Amino acid sequence: VQSNLGKLYLQMKDFPKAIDNLRQALYMNPYSVDDHVSLAHAYMSVNERKLAKEELEIALGFVPDNEKIKSMLNSIKASEKKK
**Mean pLDDT of all residues in 23-32:** 98
pLDDT of 79 above 90: no
Q: For the chain, what is the mean pLDDT?
A: 96
Quote the pLDDT of residue 83.
63
For the stretch 4-12, contacts whose Cβ atoms lie closer than 8 Å and that sit 24 or more positions apart, written own/partner, are 6/35, 6/38, 6/39, 6/42, 7/38, 10/38, 10/41, 10/42, 10/45
